[in-house]
Chains A and B, each alone.
Chain A
Amino acid sequence: MSWLCAFWRSSIGGKLTMAVTGLLLFGFVVAHLLGNLQLLGGQEKLNAYAKMLHDLGSLLWVARIGLLLIFVLHIVTAIRLSRSNRSARPVQYAKSATLQASFASRSMLFSGLSLLGFVIYHLLHFTLGVVHVDEVAKKGADGHDVYSMVVASFSKAPVAAAYIAFQVLLFFHLQHGLQSFAQTLGLHHARYTPMIKSLAFLLALVVAGGNILVVLYPSLWLAKGAA
C-alpha cells in the first residue's frame, strides 16, 4: 500500500486522483440528474423512482458509502494540493495579471468548497429533512410522496434561487473539471483538445441546465397549469 500512498502524495498522483474521483462524481451527478428528470414525468413517476431506490436496501448503503469515500478522497486531495500550491508562493506579486486562465479554472477551489456546502445543505434538506421542515413534511407520513416535497420546496423562491445559484457553480466546476480530466490523463492533441473543451462545456451545460430545469419546473409549468 505504501507505493499507492506515495503515488497519491506525488503531484501527478494527486492530479490523477482528482481526475478519476472527479469523473466518478460526474457519473453520479449525471445519474442524479436522470433521477431528477423523473419529476417532469409527474407525481407517480418520480415517487415510483424514489421507491425503487429506497427498496434497494443494503445495496443503497453500499452505493452511499462508496460515493462518500470518493467524495472524501476528492476533497481531501483537493485540500492537500491547494495547501501545497499556496505554500509554493510565499510572497504574492504586487501587481498580478492573467493572460488566458479561464474564470472556471481560477475558481475551482471556491466552486468546489461552495458545492461541498451545497451538498451538505441538500442532504439536510431532502435526505435528512432537518431544514425547510414544512416542505419536507409534504412527503407524507410514510415518506413516499417525494414529488410533493420537491414541488413544495422549489415553489419557494429563496430555495429555488439557492439551488439555481449552486447549479451555476456546478456548471463552472464541471466545465473545467472535465477538460482537466483529459489533460491529466495525458490526452492532448492539437485537433482533439479543442473538441474536448467544447464537449466539457456542453456536458456541464446539460447537467447544470437539466437540474435548473427541475428546479424551475414547479414554478413555471405547474404554476401555469394551475392558472
Chain B
Amino acid sequence: MKVKLHIWRQSKASTAQNFAQDGKMVVYELDNVSKDMSFLEMLDFLNDKLTREGELPVAFDHDCREGVCGSCGIVIDGIPHGPQRGTTTCQLHMRSFKDGAEIYLEPMRAKAFPVLKDLVVNRSAFDRVVQAGAFISVSTGAPKDANAILVAKDAAEKAFDAATCIGCGACVAACKNASAMLFVGAKVSHFLHLPQGQPERDRRARNLVTAMDKEGFGNCTNQNECEAVCPKEISVRVIAEMNREFVRAKLREEPPSHKRVGGDG
C-alpha cells in the first residue's frame, strides 16, 4: 500500500520562550508499505529510505514494541496512539489504514512535555510527580510475610487496573487542557485500594496533586478523552478517586506544628 505522511519536523528542543522552534509539518510519500507492518516498522522503513537519500531520519521514541514500556506515543491524525482503541503506537498495524491514506504524525502537545526533536517529547514531568509520592515508603529489608496482610481479590484487581498505566502520556496529549489527571489519578487509585497504601494515604494525595499542579498541566473538565485514548483503557474512575482523596486529605490536614520533629520527606 501507499501512504502520504505529514510529519512534524523540529530540529531544536522547545523552550519556554519558543515552544514550536520553527518546526513544521513535512510531507513524505511512501510506497510499498505492507499492511502487516506495525506503524513503527512503517517509520523504520521511511527512515531507511530517508537515510539512503541523505535526509535526516525522523526521531521518535520507542523501545519494547510490545505495548508495555510506554516509550512510544505519536499523535496520529489527532489521536495519541492512533485510531485503534486500547492500542499503543507500536502495536498499531498498517492494516488499520486504507491504501493511499493521508496520515498526520505529531508529537504530544503540552507545556509540560516540551518537544525535544521531531516526534520526541520530554515526559520527565511524570517522573517528578511519581517522585513526590507515588510509592509506599518501605525500605528493602524484612517486611512481614507476603500473606500476613490479606488483600481482597476485588481490591487487588482495582489496584491492578490503575497500576497497569504505562506512563506514555497519551492522556495528556489527548486532553484538550493537557491535564495529567488520568495519570496521577491512576497512581492514587493504585495505592488507595491496597491495605499497604493506607498509612500514607492523605500525604500521597496531597503531594501528588501539588506536584502535578507545579508541572503546568491543565485541569480536568470531565470530557473523558483521556480514557478513550489510554492504551490500557484506564477508567476516569481513577480521577474521581483522586478528587475524593485530595479533598478528604485537605479537610483532614492539620496546621503545621512545631512540636513535631522530622520532615515531610
Contacts and interface: CB of A to CB of B under 8 A. Distances in A.
B219 A183 contact: no
A37 B50 CA distance: 71
Contacts of A13: 250
A87 B196 CA distance: 38
A98 B79 CA distance: 8
A182 B101 CA distance: 41
B218 A10 contact: no
A215 interface: no
Category for how many chain A residues contact B: 35 or more
A188 B189 CA distance: 12
A15 B75 contact: no
B25 to A, nearest CB: 5
Interface in A52-92: 81, 84-92
Given A11-B213, A105-B223, A183-B243, A99 B111 contact: no
A108 interface: yes
B20 A91 contact: yes
A186 B240 contact: yes
A15 B220 contact: yes
Contact of B110 (A10, A88, A95, A185): A88
A105 B225 CA distance: 11
A179 interface: yes
A188 B223 contact: no
Contacts of A98: 225
B110 A94 contact: no
Contact of A186 (B223, B225, B244): B244
A126 to B, nearest CB: 32
A46 B73 CA distance: 60
A99 B212 contact: no
A180 to B, nearest CB: 4
A85 B219 contact: yes
B78 A95 contact: yes
A91 B19 CA distance: 7
B182 interface: no
A178 to B, nearest CB: 11
A100 interface: yes
B186 interface: no
Given A94-B25, A101-B176, A105-B222, A188 B236 contact: yes
Interface of A: 3, 7, 10-16, 81, 84-102, 105-106, 108, 176, 179-180, 183-190
Closest 4 CB pairs of A and B: A186-B244, A97-B78, A188-B240, A88-B218
